[in-house]
Structure 1
Amino acid sequence: MTLTLRHGDRGQAVSQLQKQLNQAGAKPALVVDGDYGDATEKAVRAFQAKSGLVDDGIAGPKTQGALTGADCRKLLGNAALVAAAKRLGVELAAIYAVNEVESLGGGFLASGKPKILFERHVMYNRLALPQHEGDDAAALKRHADELAVSHPHLVNPRPGGYIGGAGEHQRLAQARMLDAQRADESASWGAFQVMGYHWQYLGYSSLADFVARMSRDENEHFEAFVRFIEADATLHKALKGKKWAQFAKLYNGPAYARNLYDVKLERAYERHADCGCTLDAA
């Protein structure tokens, strides 16, 4: 597991990072002292900018992977964040903050498949939900209940049953055998965990279009996240006003405070705003 390094960190891992940055052409060359200070952060940002990565000064798995020659084609690019800041009319530092805190970091598994989380309780609710005029709600509910008995790991009124990683794709494949449409709707997709059933709300032409885009690259994951903000005027206003508690509650639900999402967002925003490296896109 790659250790994420940032300003203020010290140790052997930082020394190794500094050596890699020097090998990548850091100018001026860094003193290899194991201290992630201003000079190292500046070198990280310069490398990220040159590589097209998010220019946040944080040396996470993506940046460290790029330093060792990893394929960056599916990774989120800095241009997408700059464009989103202009599109939403918010500070670029705020966009950096939400990307840092609200994303999973990476949006794809080693296999190249997008990260997903299959939600069995959503599958149960989607199966029981009338979709068309004339649907028999009672019959749909009975069908969902029957599947909850025969396939409780895939259809269940209660959340849970997670395997994680590639195992979630196995669960999704099994759920598709029960109902492909409801299965894809019942998974959260990509780096920003956007639920499949939001496809129409977010303006995608079809569920298949949404899934195909989520399988393409992290820029598509971020696009779905931006669409989600655009579609919710209250959420958009909270981000624009940097009302972090309100934004975190709307995006993450009532448990946001327990997970300190608002505190993390505010600290990330202040760090990016204070560095002087981002432009105000408002």
Structure 2
Amino acid sequence: MKAVAEAESLASEFQADGKPKILFERHKFHAFTAGKYSADHPDISNERADGYTKNEYARLEKAAKLDRTAALKSTNWGKFQIMGFNFALAGFSTLQDFITAMYRSESDQLKAFVHFIKYNRLDDELHEKRWADFSRIYNGKNFHINEYDIKIGNVYKKYSN
């Protein structure tokens, strides 16, 4: 779990200002809003991933003014970078409960991660160090583009020596 946390968020759950670490995914916002805002706001709504900045909260806030629910669902949250649209798989009955937990504590972020892992039956992949299999489910079918499996494996090796 430590390797996943470091590969996903450099093992930090909160920014210096106390807000949970986030990454806004403009391609998810595009999908959730059927591209409605892409022409006028390609920085926050686009078919392509990317466009990340040093201030992801500014992008999230801009998107939230257009469609709050889609914006929150399109964001990776906390130490384990769980996507907002996975709130139920992370053990929460509402998106807002999930967001509140991400702000509340590292412990709540860990509980969400464990729930997500159990729900998706990814514990075997972690125990057996099958990083590609884990990453395919956790990060999606394009996990190899950002080499999540390699990153997790490398971090695991660093801590296991």
TM-score (norm 1): 0.51
Separation in structure 2 between the aligned mates of residue 244 and residue 258 of structure 1, nearest angstrom: 8
Partner of 2:65 in structure 1? 177
> By how many angstroms is 1:256 displaced?
6.0
Letter in 2 for 1:184: L
Partner of 1:160 in structure 2? 50
Letter in 1 for 2:89: Y
CA deviations on 1:245-267 (whole Å, 9 max, x unpaired) are 43344334223658722531541
Determine if contact 2:89/2:115 at 8 Å carries over to the other structure: no
Letter in 2 for 1:236: D
User: Please, what is the CA RMSD of the aligned residues?
Assistant: 2.3
Determine if contact 2:4/2:152 at 8 Å carries over to the other structure: no
Partner of 1:250 in structure 2? 137
Partner of 2:119 in structure 1? 231
CA deviations on 1:68-95 (whole Å, 9 max, x unpaired) are xxxxxxxxxxxxxxxxxxxxxxxxxxx4
Structure ranking higher on relative contact order (CA contacts 8 Å, 6+ apart): 2
CA deviations on 1:25-47 (whole Å, 9 max, x unpaired) are xxxxxxxxxxxxxxxxxxxxxxx
1:188 aligns with 2:94: no
- Cα 1:245–1:154 change in 2 (3 A) is closer
Separation in structure 1 between the aligned mates of residue 152 and residue 100 of structure 2, nearest angstrom: 32
Number of residue pairs matched by the alignment: 158
Separation in structure 1 between the aligned mates of residue 22 and residue 6 of structure 2, nearest angstrom: 18
> By how many angstroms is 1:111 displaced?
1.2
3-state DSSP of counterpart to 2:13? coil
Partner of 2:153 in structure 1? 263
Separation in structure 2 between the aligned mates of residue 237 and residue 156 of structure 1, nearest angstrom: 35
> By how many angstroms is 1:198 displaced?
0.4
- Cα 1:245–1:175 change in 2 (3 A) is closer
Determine if contact 2:90/2:113 at 8 Å carries over to the other structure: no
Determine if contact 1:121/1:157 at 8 Å carries over to the other structure: yes
1:151 aligns with 2:35: no
Separation in structure 2 between the aligned mates of residue 148 and residue 216 of structure 1, nearest angstrom: 32
> By how many angstroms is 1:207 displaced?
0.5
Contiguous gaps of at least 5 residues in structure 1: 1-94, 129-143, 272-282
> By how many angstroms is 1:101 displaced?
4.1
Separation in structure 2 between the aligned mates of residue 161 and residue 255 of structure 1, nearest angstrom: 15
Separation in structure 2 between the aligned mates of residue 256 and residue 121 of structure 1, nearest angstrom: 15
Letter in 1 for 2:108: E
- Cα 1:204–1:175 change in 2 (3 A) is same
Larger Rg: 1
3-state DSSP of counterpart to 1:117? strand
Contiguous gaps of at least 5 residues in structure 2: none
TM-score (norm 2): 0.84
1:119 aligns with 2:17: no
Separation in structure 1 between the aligned mates of residue 3 and residue 152 of structure 2, nearest angstrom: 11
1:109 aligns with 2:39: no
Separation in structure 2 between the aligned mates of residue 100 and residue 148 of structure 1, nearest angstrom: 32
- Cα 1:256–1:229 change in 2 (3 A) is farther
> By how many angstroms is 1:243 displaced?
2.7
Determine if contact 1:244/1:265 at 8 Å carries over to the other structure: no
3-state DSSP of counterpart to 1:148? coil
- Cα 1:256–1:270 change in 2 (3 A) is farther
CA deviations on 1:44-81 (whole Å, 9 max, x unpaired) are xxxxxxxxxxxxxxxxxxxxxxxxxxxxxxxxxxxxxx
Runs of 4+ in 1 over 6 A off after TM superposition: none
